[in-house]
Each structure stands twice: as structure tokens, then as C-alpha cells.
Structure 1
Amino acid sequence: MDMAGFLPKGHDDGTRFLLREVQGGVAGTVIMLGVEGAPEPELARLSLGLHTALAGDPQFVSVLNGVFATDQAEALRNLLFEHRYQLAPDNSVRKLDAQALGQAFSNVLDGLDSAAGSVLSDALLRDPTNAFVQTVRALEPDVRVRVVQGVWFAPDRPRALLLLRTQAPGMDLARQAHVEQTITAAFAALHPGSARLLMSGPSVFAVASAAGMRRDVDMMALCSFALVVSILYWRFRSLWVLAAIGVPFLLSLSVAMLVVRLAFGFVHGIAFGFGMTMLGVALDYPVLLIGHRDHGEGPQATLRRIGHSLRLGVATAVLGLTGMVFCGLPGLAQLGVFAAVGLVVAALVTLHIMPRLVVAADLAPHVSGPSRPLAVAEGWRRYRVLACLPVMFCAVALWRSPPLMDTRLTALSPLPEKTLRLDDSLRRDLGVPDSSLMLAVSGQNAQAVLEREEALAPVWAQLQQKGALAGVQEAARLLPSVQMQRSRVRQLPSPAPLQVAIAQAREGLPFRATAFDAFVADVARARQMPPLLPQDMLRTPVGAAMAPLLFARGGQWFGLVFPESVKDHQAVERALAGQPDVLVLDMRKEVDSLSAYHTGRTLRWMAVGCVLAFVVLLVGLRNARRMFRVIGAVGAVQITVLGAFALLHQPLTLIHLIALQFVLGVSLDYALFFARPQLDAEERARTMRTLLTCNAMTVLTFGFLAACQTPLLREIGITVAFGVALAMIYGFLLAGQRPNIGPPDRP
């Protein structure tokens, strides 16, 4: 049920890295929470309650809302204070000569004279150069939140904010669903009243998509079964016919699932739902066999009349699915393979197994032979030129304003617009940096990545001077490399020169000779202290912030760098061109190029399939007039559907192309049966009744997809239902032969 199953592997380094992180990265474990709908004091209470309830739960790596547990805050403060000389980015805090210390001591004296001087006296004397303050400022996240009663709030609205990270991977749907249940239960236990909980993040999207997809699949299984059984019973009035027709369907569904499982390793929920919808199409072939049989007629005689058209229909329908099969998106390729295998198996069963069932139960339509309404309808073919008018109208609309191709991958998003707007809102409130541009720095280990990020510091400084960006978020800002920490420590003087500098700096100031002994001891200890490593930051807010920025994948380490407030993308890309071990990812460009690549690939394979189908028709029909009628009917369907998109200003997406391929196959099937030689009124009536039955099953089952929550299924359902309805109309009017005899006498 995971929508990540519809993502490809990528066609270059950038898209492969991007998709790998989307499916298994640390960023997928982040959940953003918002609480709103009540006064701010009440929202603060709920935020504190959620923090208390979730912080001790082992399902969460971190729960951040501006409040830290007392022991956690104290431990982090002590850690940062001890390592302040290694972490502080400003070299002035390590400049400990007499002149610099004299200015620092004057500032300490001013601080001691302030109202808080008695409370902060020990800290001021131990850290006269404010190294600890510089360290804390460097670690502060660049968020836009305001703090109310100690917790985070949105900057411009009464909304409390929390940021969570889960132990479970973002795409582990079962564990993530349990995480959401835990959050919801914790919120409900706080008696929120009118307040409501907002939740967003990659894992939230995945769980919601899977749940919606399962509901859609269950609905399609039930509705398709009920619809098809009802239509078939109304048409044949025989339970034996229903039982016999169920054989090719069950076999085609089973074999299709097995083939997809063997080819892809799994069967996606959308492919299964699509397979259930194909119930109406996979049954076309046995319905065509039974519907064309007269009582007492041998099934082989029926097959001699329709077998050639049936085989041509199967071959061209399967060739029409080539674009879907070879589009490169695993989920959509599953749809194509599922459909192709299902059609072939249904046809084979109809040709080789169904005849025995037909003879054993003497299966035939409840109503057979010609009728006056059908004969009158056939007379409408005299005015088939009128059917060309909407085709011409749509062709003009296409020529004047062809539908645009929407090659954005977001067009495949399973999420409603409301959900995406909420996600954007929470990201803005929390001050998440602009992710439209991202850098991936690689190295053999974590230290190599941190050193490479530090080497890029002059590039960022130059770009900031030009106004191309405001800054960057990177792991090296939170934790310098071991090499950088050692370099900073080497700037510290040994105890003896430091004592001399302190003595000179104290001259004229009212400090005792021993006032800065603790400061001297801290500096001496810092010179011997081992550097901080990433593992030292685990289970701290700093570690939680570093996790999405520094990680290992497949034995290699990566660091993500997010530029902030990018004003000039091209300037950033030019500045980083040629930098070794640095991959620049314009997120929108990469995602759109990925979709454009697969859209182009789909179009190319569609063209190949259409050419092959044309060759099959040319060889199989061997009749220029019939060929012209079949191609004309199929072309009319495609032009009308595309014209409708143009008139509605609906951009074409990869999903629409997939649906049009399916319409192409069904259109060929109908046109071939209407165009085949039909010697008498009875045969023409049987063809019309049978194709109307097939059309009703397909239109109604695919029409039900329009009620699905999954946009992908909904778009396929609307397009296919509309196209197949047109296929029946144009196939009947344009591909069918005009009768040469008058209407029959019997009703």
C-alpha cells in the first residue's frame, strides 16, 4: 500500500540519491504537530501535556516543543560548557592575550554590577570571553517560533507547535500507524475540549495514503463484483452463465497477480484495485463468446465467426499497454503487466476452456436474434457523417489550444490539496529552510563529511555578500569536525602564559589575584579534552537536529546542506560547479525532470505499441476499407478525449497517458467487432447486445473509480469511463457496416 512503490530508481545520481532519501531517509521520520482552536494558555497546557506523555515513549527519538527535561537540559548545558572552546565558532573567544582579556574583564565587571551579577558571578568569572554564549547561539535553530509559557507557538497565529522524530522508518506503515494512534490517544487523554490536533509529515502522508487506498480497494472489490454480477444476470438470466464466466476471470486475476509478484517482488494495492476494476474488461471475451452463440450452436462455430476479431483485439489491446509496461515507474508498470497478463489469460481461457463449459451447460443469451429497436439504431449509421462533427470540433480545439503536459511528479501525488496546504503552513511556522535547493556532501566517514562542509564556508560567505542566500543549515554548524576542534584548541595558551596575561589584564581592575583561577583551570582542561563526536550528541536536541543532516547510507556518509532564503539559484550552482564530492540538487528541477523523463519514455513506448498494433491490424484485416473504419473509430475516440481536456483546460499528466492507452485497447476491441463481416440481422443484433453488455460493465466499474480517495485511481477512472463510452458510440457509428436489409418483423 506504500505510494513509494510508484517511485522509480532514478535515471541519474541526483534523482537516485533524492529518491533513496525519500523512501528511507531520516527526514521521513519527522512529524510536525500543531494544536489550535483554544486560548493560548490552554494550548500551552496541551503542548506541555503532549511533551510529557510522548518524551518517555520509546517510539520517539525526540519530542521538541521548546521545553527540555530538567536533567536533559542540565546534561546538555554541562556538555556544551565543558567543550565551549572547541565548539564556539568565533575565534575571538580563544584570543587570550592581555589586551583581549583586559576588554573581557571590563565586560565581566559590568556584568557583576548588574542586577543578575550575584547569580551569574561564577559563570562570568569562569567564562570571561563568553565562549559558552557563542556556542549556544551557534546551536540555536533558525526557527521563527515565539515562546509562550515556555513552549513554541506559531509566529502569527495561536497555534502551539511540536516537532517529533520517530524510531520507526518513515515508510514502516504499521509502526507509523501505531505512532499516530499513540499521539492521538495522548492528546485525547488531555481533555482538549475545542482544541484540535494537526499532524503532518512524510510518514503521516504514507499512512493516510495507505488507509485511503485500502478503502478504495475494498470498495472496488465489492462494487465491481456487485455491478458485474447484476449486469450479467440481467443479460443472460442464468447462474450457470455466471459460474462459467467466473472461470476466466478468476484464472486471469490469479495468474496476473502471480506474474506481477514474480516480476516485481510484490503486488501493489493500486495494481490489485485496478485488477478488480478490470473485472468488467477481463469478462469481455467469455461474454463475447456466449453472447454470439445461438441456442444449440456448437461453440467452435461461434469461434469461427468471432475468433479472428477476438485474437486481433487481444493482440492490439496488449500492444496498446506497452507505454504503461515500460514507463519505468514500478507501480504503473505493475498496472500494465497486470492488465496485459489478465487480458491474455482471459482470452486463452475463452478460446480453449470455455467451449467445453458452453457445451456442457448449453450456455446462450436469454434474448437472441434481431429486434426492431436495434434495427432502428442501426439505421442511425446512415448519418454517421454527423459523428464527425464533434471530432472535427475537438480537433480544432486541439489545434488552437492543445492541452499542456504536466510533467511534475506532484501530479502523481496521492494527497488532497488541503493536506498539502497544512504541511506548508506547519513548515512555515517552524521555519523549515527552503528545500528547493539542497546539497549532498559525501565522504568515507562522518569526519570527512564535516571537514568537506567546513571547506565550503568561504563559498557561503561569498554568496552571502552577494545576497544570493541568507545562510545555510548544515551538520558542521552544529558539531565541528575533530580536525576543526583540535585546531581551535591549539589556539589556547598554556597555563603559564595565560597567568601572565591575566595579571596584566587585571591591572587597574578590582579583581582578586585568584578570581580567574577556575578560568585558567578550564582552559588547561580544554587543551587536554578529547574532541566531541556525533555519538556524544545522541539523545540530545543537538543530536536530533543533526540526524537528518548527517547520516550513513550503504557504507558511505552523507551530509545535507540546506541554503536559506535563496535569491539566486544559478549563482549558488555556479559557485559549487566542479566542487568534488558535492552533489547540487535543485529539488523542483530534479523532481520535474524525473517525471518528464518517464513521461517521455511512456510516450515513446506508446508510439512503438501503436505502430506494432497498426502492423498487426494491417496483417490481420487485409482489407483497406475495414482498416480505415477501425482506425477512424479509434482515432475519433482519442481526438475527442484529448479535445475535451483542451476545452476544460485540463493539463495532461502521466496518469492520463496511462488511461488513454487503456482506452486505446478497448476502442480497438469494439471497433474490430463492429467492423467484422456480419451477414444477417441476427448476427448484428448479437454483436450489439454483447458489446453493450461489455461496455456497461467497463464504464460502470471504471466510473466507480471516480469516487475513490486516491487521486491516481480517480483520474484513471474518469478518463477510462469517458473514453470507453465514446469507444462504443464511435465504434458503432464509424466502424460498423450499414445494413442492406430492412428492419425485421418481430419485435
Structure 2
Amino acid sequence: MAGFLPKGHNDGTRFLLREVQEGVAGTIVMLGIEGAAEPELARLSLGMQKALSGHPQFVSVMNGVFSARQTQGLQDTLMAHRYQLAPDASARDLSAAALGQAFEGVLDGLNSSAGSVFSDMLLRDPTKAFLNTVQTLEPDVQVRMEHGVWFASDRPRALLLLRTTAPGMDLLRQKAVQQTLQTTFAALHPGTARLLMSGPSVFAVRSAAGMRADMDLMAFCSVLMVAGVLYWRFRSFWVLAAIGVPFFLSLSVAMIVVRLVFGYVHGIALGFGMTMLGVALDYPVLLIGHRDRGEGPEATLQRIGHSLRLGVTTAVLGLTGMVFCGLPGLAQLGTFAATGLVVAACVTLSLMPRLVVAADLAPSVSGPSPQLAQAEKLRRYRVLCAVPLLISGVLLWQHPLVLDTRLAALSPIPEQARRVDEALRHELGVPDASLMLAVSGVNAQAVLEREEALSGVWAHLQQQGALSGVQDAARLLPSMQTQRLRAEALPAPAVLQSAIEEARHNLPFRPDAFSAFVQDVAAARKLAPLSVQDMAGTPLEAALSPLLFERQGQWFGLVFPERVHDRAAIEHAMANQPDVLVVDMKREIDGLSAHYTARTLRWMIAGCGLALAVLVYGLRSVSRLVRVTASVGAALVSLLGVLAIMGHPLTLIHLISLQFVLGVSLDYALFFARPQLDDAERARTMRTLLTCNAMTVLTFGLLATCNTPLLQEIGKTVALGVLFAMAYGFLLAGQRPRTG
């Protein structure tokens, strides 16, 4: 869906959509292993971590355990730079009074049962600067350590957090990543244990695979069903071949036009476009179905050509909402379908008559039909159509339709998968980006300095109770300027030694007990500050990269408020902060969807207005105009009434489906309403439209059985709408039978 969306209509949505498609958040994969005893789950977790660490498909693999090389290297770096990195200022307070309190804590630690093990560390780091630094870098995970690895706090589930080298929306590479995970897990002989995977890329791959499988199955089955209907109607393989000519020509030209206009053909546009373009089959069916054997090429067109041209024109105008909606995918779909319809109609009107006459193609059954003539008598009671319309009106009044503009309404992700994702996200401390702030700067240091400048704002908001804290890059890696200032504030060796002598007075420490401490402080005063580049290849890089990154020469830092209680207060505090963008994901993405849904609706209304003007000009008959518009309106009202009683809010998908139903309804109504001088012609029209209706209902009825909710909605809406279109077109648009 991300590739189906535009760049956005404001700064928030443009930034958000860029990060959805290109950002580091999309490369996060969360794993859970459950279904066995905890020792077995720990074995599998350790096996996965060992097998995947260093694999070219992964930037990092975390489960609470790091390799000895990574751990030792990071510990050495953090120990050396602890006074530059520790966020608590008390860790750098090396005055005699502060050291006196610290030394008393050291003495208590040495007297404890673990004192002999940690004696060197206690004496070397009496102010606990290293511990303060490490605690800051630890992720806010809701886990417990069992058997040396992460476990969920409330259930026997081992947890792993991975980051892939492939972008989140690179579905081909992400599919390979998931295959690697499954293969690696299977190679560990998991027994009854099962692997849970979640994350944006996991959803993307599964959704794409599900939709592709649905479309492939539908394409195969619908071809068989349509071919079966056509053969039953015409009893000729030559007819099938002839009908395929305008369809494949329209498909080819539509792909070329979309490629020229947009530069590429989106997969969704191609898949849905071919489905919608299926109405192009109606045109050659209408031509052949209305022909008598031996009839010349112009005779059939004289009877149906005007109605066919009006039908094509109004159908194309009905697609205006999609063509000009502003969503690239939908615009492609509308352009694809409109181009295909025009090409199919042109081929049917210009090339097909000679081909049909040369092969003498015509229905196997023609002429008047007593059964159809009897059915036409139902039009005498067309006033009874007011009953279902009245019922639909009451349903719409009692259950008003709501336009659901949320993007979540289009989501193909099953509810169970969402719940698993929420659980893993909470347990692993992966931030929920429902609210985030983006700080921009010319380079990484500018961003870090800007985030540090906001620390006072966060503290004030925390005191107000608006939030409980924030996750940002400056918490993990202070700016180089801050590190320099902290290092410069450390006392010189002589001053520190004097403070130590005063602090250890009356305490049982040897004179040289804190010599390593003095040496470390002296070295820290001269250490160059750590940069982002210094974190490359360390576990800290995996934590830092989602929060601090470069995009097209501009650096951004993401700030995630924790446990937000007052969004309005946060937004108010950020209102006058330069280079800070507040992004409420739900509001921005829903606002984006609402913006383009409203735009689609406006263009849809404009297209319907133009289609009505074309009908007024083309029909030039008040009676026919009333019958056509009444049948189309009745079909749409009845369809909306059914959606209302089913409790379905209208989404962007329903608007697309309604545009398709509108075009088909106009086709049926125009052919029923055209002058038909004898019983044979009325029978030909009825048989032909029933054939077209059967093809469309079967095709979209099959779509309604798909596993993808989005495709199901299209199938159900169009199949039901086309049935209403046929019924009301026959009853309201057709001529009353002659009496006597």
C-alpha cells in the first residue's frame, strides 16, 4: 500500500511516507519462539543468534546476548568514555563531598558477598559513571532474562530483535530474508516449537503474496468461467478468438499509455485494471450478440452503435474520480481502465464488424423468444420497484452510511497478526511510532545538539505529566560538543588527588586504592569525543541508526515520547520550536487518506455530472433520459442500502467499486432504453445483456471469495451492484411491451 500512495500533501505526511518506504523502521523484524519448554526455547534462540550474526542479510541480531568480541569492544569503549557519555551529572561530580559519599558506597559494596568479584570495578569507578552509561543504552524492553536470553515477561516465549540490510519495501529481498529465518529455524530441529515473525516487511511480503495468489487464482478461474459462458452462448471457438482481439489490444495499449504517462506500471494497477477492463469484453459481445447471420457490417452498428458510443463515453467519464484523485496507484488504475475501454470500443466499432462478417459470427440462438417476451410483461409493474427503493431509503435513514477515510480500513493485515505484532513490539521495546518528532539538521552533530537543547522541554512536560520520557539519539550518544564540555569539566589529576585524600579521611582505604580511578579521569580529559562513525560495527549502531539517519543530504533525528498522556501539551510545546516536525502517525496517515478520498469523491461527482450532460445531449429524449437515470440511480441506492444494513462504512475501495458499477449500469440502461422495433431485437438485447451480466457477476463473485479482505470488498460490492443494474435496467429502462 505504501507504493500505492503519493508523496503527501503536507510536511508531516511527506516525511512519514518517505520513512515508511525508505526508513530504518521498515527493516526491523521481531521474532518470537514458543511452544516448548524454556530451556529448549533458549537453545533455539541462541542457535538463531549464532547462525544469523554476521549473515549478510542482517545488520544486527539481538536476543540479550552479544558475542564476546562485540561485548568486550563495546565495554572498553564505554568504560573509557564513561564520563563523556553518562547522562547523570552526579557521575561527574568529583568534589570532595561527592566523593566522600561515593567512597562510602564503595565500602558497602566491598563488604558485600560480591565485593571480591567487583572490587576492581568499584575502586576504578566509584561514582558509577560506567553503570549509569550502560543503563542508559539498554533498550526499554519488557523482558526477563532466562537461560541467558530474552523471554517475554508473561509467557514462555523467547524473543529476538533483528534488523535487515534490505529496505523494508524491497519485497524480493525481504522474502529471501524470511526464507532464511525459516530455514535456519528448521535446521535447529525445533520439534513442537514454532517461530513467530512480525514487522512491516513481514506484513508487506505476506500481503503481497496473498494478493498475488488471489489474483492468479482469480485470473485462471475467471478465464475458464467467461470462456464457458461465451461458448454456451455462441457455440463457437471462433467467437471466443474474435472477442479476444479487442481485449488484448486494449490491454496492450493501456499498458503503453500508463507507462508513458507515469513512467512505470504499478502491479496493483495492472491486476485491478485487468479485472475492471473485463467490461471491455462486453463490447464485442454486444456487437456479435446483436447480429443476425448474413447481416452486413453496417446494419448491426446502425442499431447499436449510438448506444455503444454513449456507454463508452459515460463509462470513461465515470472513471474521472480515479484518474484525477491524486493517488498514483488509483490514477494509474483509472487511466488503465479508461484507455482500455476507449481502445476496446474503437476496435469493436471499426475493426470488428468486418472480422465478424468475414467469419459470419453470430449467436447460435437468435430470433424472438416466448419466454423473454413473457418476462418483458413484468415491466407493466415497474412501479413496484418503489418498494425495494423505499426499503433501501429507510435502511439508509436508520443506518446512515459513514465515509471511512482511515487507511487502516484498507489494510490487508488480519486482526490476529496485528495482535501478535503489538505483543512483540511491547515486549521488545520497539517504539510505537503513533506519535514522533523529527528533528532536522545539516549534519548528525547539529541534530544531536538540537535534541539536547530540547531536554529542558522534555523535563517540563514530564513534570506536567504529559509523558513519562523520550527515546532519542542524544540519550544514546551526546553531541561531540557536549562530550568536550564534560571532559573539560573534569578536574586535573592534582586537584582530583587532593579531593580523594579529603574524601577518604576516616575511611579504611589505602593511599593508592583509587590510583586507577585517577588515571582514568586524566585519560578522559584528553579523549576525543565519540562520533556516529565510531559506533559502526558495534551493537550500539543498531540502537542508534533508527533514531539518527541521513536522507538526501539532510540529517534527521526521531524522538519518540514514551507513554503519552497529553498529546495537545506536546504539540503546543513544539509549536514554536524550529527544525522540529511533530508527526502524529494515525492523524497524518488518516488525514492523507481523507484528503485524497475527498478529492476522489469530488472528481467522481464531476464525472457523473459530465456523464449526465452527455446523456442529455446524446439521448435527446426526456423519456429515455428519465428511464436511464432512474435505473442507474435505483441500482446505486439499492446497493448502498445493502451496504448500510450490513454495517459496511464506505471506504476508498467502495468508491472505486461504485464507479465500476456506475459504468456497467449505464451500459445496461442505454441498451435496454434504445429503440427496439421488433420482438427479435428485444430478445437479442436481452440475451446479450444477460451474457454480459453473467460474465461480470461470475468474475467479481469469484473475487469475493478471495482471502484478501480488500479484494473481497471489491468483489462483493461490484457483483451485487451489477445484479441490481441488470434488474433495474430491465424493469425501468426497457420499453413497456405493446398491448394487444
TM range (shorter): over 0.9
612, 616, 619: which one pairs with 2:617?
619
Q: Deviations over 1:433-478 (max 9, x none)?
A: 3422110110000011111111111111111111111101111100
* Correspondence for 1:552: 550
Q: Give the distance between the partners of 1:21 and 1:118, measured in 2 at CA.
A: 50
* Correspondence for 2:115: 117
Q: Give the distance between the partners of 1:487 and 1:60, measured in 2 at CA.
A: 36
* Correspondence for 1:24: 22
Matches within 5 A, 1:587-736: 587-736=585-734
State the 1:329 CA deviation: 1.8
State the 1:12 CA deviation: 0.4
Q: Give the distance between the partners of 1:434 and 1:171, measured in 2 at CA.
A: 19
Q: Deviations over 1:386-424 (max 9, x none)?
A: 122111110122123211111101111122222222211
Q: Give the distance between the partners of 1:433 and 1:277, measured in 2 at CA.
A: 40
Q: Give the distance between the partners of 2:459 and 2:432, measured in 1 at CA.
A: 18
* Correspondence for 2:509: 511
* Correspondence for 1:380: 378
* Correspondence for 1:443: 441
Residue 704 of structure 2 aligns to a residue whose secondary structure is helix
TM-score (norm 1): 0.98
559, 562, 576: which one pairs with 2:560?
562
Q: Give the distance between the partners of 1:66 and 1:212, measured in 2 at CA.
A: 34
171, 174, 192: which one pairs with 2:172?
174
Aligned partners of 1:224 and 1:277 also within 8 Å: no
Q: Give the distance between the partners of 2:204 and 2:197, measured in 1 at CA.
A: 12
Once structures 1 and 2 are overlaid, which stretch shifts more, 392-401 or 161-170? 392-401
Residue 660 of structure 2 aligns to a residue whose secondary structure is helix
Give 2:684's aligned amino acid: R
* Correspondence for 2:133: 135
Percentage of identical aligned residues: 72
State the 1:647 CA deviation: 1.2
* Correspondence for 2:310: 312
* Correspondence for 1:190: 188
Aligned partners of 1:320 and 1:613 also within 8 Å: yes
* Correspondence for 1:745: none
* Correspondence for 2:298: 300
Matches within 5 A, 1:358-437: 358-437=356-435
Give 1:204's aligned amino acid: V
* Correspondence for 2:249: 251
State the 1:741 CA deviation: 5.3
Q: Give the distance between the partners of 1:663 and 1:370, measured in 2 at CA.
A: 29
Residue 651 of structure 1 aligns to a residue whose secondary structure is coil
Residue 659 of structure 2 aligns to a residue whose secondary structure is helix
Distance 1:279 1:20, change over 3 A: closer
Residue 29 of structure 2 aligns to a residue whose secondary structure is strand
Residue 546 of structure 2 aligns to a residue whose secondary structure is coil
Aligned partners of 1:325 and 1:335 also within 8 Å: yes
Aligned partners of 2:276 and 2:660 also within 8 Å: no
Residue 462 of structure 2 aligns to a residue whose secondary structure is helix
* Correspondence for 2:454: 456
Residue 418 of structure 2 aligns to a residue whose secondary structure is helix
160, 164, 172: which one pairs with 1:162?
160
Aligned partners of 2:425 and 2:432 also within 8 Å: no
Aligned partners of 1:221 and 1:276 also within 8 Å: no
Aligned partners of 1:444 and 1:556 also within 8 Å: yes
Residue 531 of structure 1 aligns to a residue whose secondary structure is coil
Give 1:642's aligned amino acid: L
Distance 1:279 1:241, change over 3 A: farther
Residue 283 of structure 1 aligns to a residue whose secondary structure is helix
Q: Give the distance between the partners of 2:237 and 2:637, measured in 1 at CA.
A: 40
1:57 aligned to 2:55?
Answer: yes
* Correspondence for 1:539: 537
Q: Give the distance between the partners of 1:365 and 1:29, measured in 2 at CA.
A: 58
Unaligned runs of 5+ in 2: none
Q: Give the distance between the partners of 1:223 and 1:720, measured in 2 at CA.
A: 18
Give 1:571's aligned amino acid: A
Q: Give the distance between the partners of 1:242 and 1:434, measured in 2 at CA.
A: 54
Count residues with an aligned counterpart: 740
Aligned partners of 2:70 and 2:539 also within 8 Å: no
66, 84, 87: which one pairs with 1:86?
84
Q: Deviations over 1:209-251 (max 9, x none)?
A: 2211221221122112111111111111111111111100110
Q: Give the distance between the partners of 1:56 and 1:103, measured in 2 at CA.
A: 45
Q: Give the distance between the partners of 2:255 and 2:55, measured in 1 at CA.
A: 40
Q: Deviations over 1:562-604 (max 9, x none)?
A: 1011011111111111110000011111111111101100110
Q: Give the distance between the partners of 2:570 and 2:424, measured in 1 at CA.
A: 27
285, 288, 296: which one pairs with 2:286?
288
Aligned partners of 1:217 and 1:269 also within 8 Å: no
State the 1:483 CA deviation: 1.0
Q: Deviations over 1:344-397 (max 9, x none)?
A: 111000000001101210111111011111011101111111122111110122
Aligned partners of 1:76 and 1:540 also within 8 Å: yes
Q: Give the distance between the partners of 1:263 and 1:330, measured in 2 at CA.
A: 11
Residue 738 of structure 1 aligns to a residue whose secondary structure is coil
State the 1:159 CA deviation: 0.9
* Correspondence for 1:474: 472
Residue 707 of structure 1 aligns to a residue whose secondary structure is coil
320, 323, 337: which one pairs with 1:322?
320
